[in-house]
A = this chain, B = another copy of it.
């Protein structure tokens, strides 16, 4: 029986869970792949830390390069994280040494995925990263293999569990962003520095990866709209709810001709639309294509269990001899696709003005909107803290550029407008 020798680089939560699940399911893995999987080496920062597991002697190796240069190792699992530094070095060098690589590192793949997939092709090894997007959901494998016969037009959904948890809990518990963020941090759902999640960067990395796989384009990892949820307050959620909407952070990629329209931003979504009821840390990805139509994939978007499930699925895929292209097609066949200018985007817009409650404010707002040909569909004014008011409105369909102009012009007046929050409204079932 052929055996595969694996090295795990990085023994945090995920690394440890991968180790445990491979050990626990050793006989299942043998039955399902036909081969034996050995965990031969582990590289960890602290090898003396009590992890509640008995490791075999000599399994730890502090020197990463001794692992990468070990001719006995077939597969390297990188679980350090980060798009630069050690993680980058490990992945590049391992491929150069003809090792298969499995990683959960979305920022590394989003930034260096094109170069890495070319390198992997050159060295005849697999570079797989199912765990980088959608946690345990087999979304990358589904797009690459299950939907291989389709031309995809849309990929969108909820790709960040942390922000989805925060938005869900704010509504459920009637609490502020800051309060729920602190709870999320306590629960381990948010990092102590929550920027990557709450400002949309994590979802941006993920949609970059999915759009590249789905549309056959080189990775578009910058230059597109990325907005997070930091400005969203309970008032926004409540007003949205009163009109039958939920607020969700969406990552959206569309292929239009030979260009890509890609973005991450919060959306007001009608209650009865596909992803409106995906709550807490659950992720959901909607994929439209021909001839299949629409398929949807839901599941836990983060956490050690789901992530280890995805990492092991990549390892076993390599054992089964699947000769996969990292992004689903030959790297040389990936096209460079341009980004569509978002200023021409058409949508309804929700805007909330936190203003001093003085006469003339509303007329200033309505005048600015009228000047830019933006008309109002719904409007509500409520008193806020001493002397302030919230004016919330939803526009009729308008152009992004015009909305931007209005917001720029009004926000200059810091005395009158303490805060302006704008959230796009998604109306159509189609997108």
Q: For the A-B complex with A291-B305, A291-B308 known, give 9 more contacts whose Cβ atoms are closer than 8 Å.
A: A28-B329, A31-B329, A130-B146, A138-B142, A145-B317, A146-B310, A148-B316, A149-B312, A296-B296
Residue of B nearest to A333 (CB): B31
B300, A297: Cβ atoms under 8 Å?
no
Question: Is there a chain B Cβ closer than 8 Å to A270's Cβ?
Answer: no
Question: Is there a chain B Cβ closer than 8 Å to A137's Cβ?
Answer: yes
Question: Is there a chain B Cβ closer than 8 Å to A88's Cβ?
Answer: no
Question: Is there a chain B Cβ closer than 8 Å to A41's Cβ?
Answer: no
Within 8 A of B (CB), among A191-230: 216
- Please indicate the chain B residues that have their CB under 8 angstroms from the CB of A137 in the complex: 146, 295
Closest-CB distance, A140 to chain B (whole angstroms)? 9
Which one of B32, B312, B321 lies within 8 Å of A328 (CB-CB)?
B32
Q: How far is the CA of A28 from the CA of B328 in the complex (A)?
A: 10
A138, B146: Cβ atoms under 8 Å?
yes
Closest-CB distance, A250 to chain B (whole angstroms)? 18
Question: Is there a chain B Cβ closer than 8 Å to A324's Cβ?
Answer: yes
Q: How far is the CA of A366 from the CA of B333 in the complex (A)?
A: 71
Residue of B nearest to A22 (CB): B149
A149, B31: Cβ atoms under 8 Å?
no
- Please indicate the chain B residues that have their CB under 8 angstroms from the CB of A136 in the complex: 292-293, 295
Number of interface residues of A (CB under 8 A): 54
Within 8 A of B (CB), among A319-371: 320-325, 328-330, 333
Question: Is there a chain B Cβ closer than 8 Å to A162's Cβ?
Answer: no
Which one of B141, B291, B305 lies within 8 Å of A146 (CB-CB)?
B141
Residue of B nearest to A216 (CB): B31
Question: Is there a chain B Cβ closer than 8 Å to A290's Cβ?
Answer: yes
Within 8 A of B (CB), among A252-304: 290-300, 303-304
Question: Is there a chain B Cβ closer than 8 Å to A15's Cβ?
Answer: no
A309, B130: Cβ atoms under 8 Å?
no
Chain A residues near B (Cβ < 8 Å):
17, 21, 25, 28-29, 31-32, 34, 130, 136-138, 141-142, 145-151, 216, 290-300, 303-306, 308-310, 312-313, 316-317, 320-325, 328-330, 333
Q: How many copies does the complex hold?
A: 2
A146-B142 contact in complex given A295-B298, A299-B296, A309-B291, C-beta closer than 8 Å = yes
Residue of B nearest to A138 (CB): B146
- Please indicate the chain B residues that have their CB under 8 angstroms from the CB of A306 in the complex: 291-293
Q: How far is the CA of A296 from the CA of B142 in the complex (A)?
A: 13
Closest-CB distance, A69 to chain B (whole angstroms)? 28
B294, A17: Cβ atoms under 8 Å?
no
Closest-CB distance, A172 to chain B (whole angstroms)? 14
- Please indicate the chain B residues that have their CB under 8 angstroms from the CB of A317 in the complex: 145
A313-B149 contact in complex given A292-B300, A292-B306, C-beta closer than 8 Å = yes
- Please indicate the chain B residues that have their CB under 8 angstroms from the CB of A298 in the complex: 295-298
A31-B292 contact in complex given A149-B309, A309-B149, A309-B150, C-beta closer than 8 Å = no
- Please indicate the chain B residues that have their CB under 8 angstroms from the CB of A295 in the complex: 136-138, 297-300
11 contacts between A and B (CB under 8 A): A34-B330, A138-B295, A142-B146, A145-B313, A145-B317, A146-B310, A149-B308, A291-B306, A291-B308, A292-B306, A293-B306
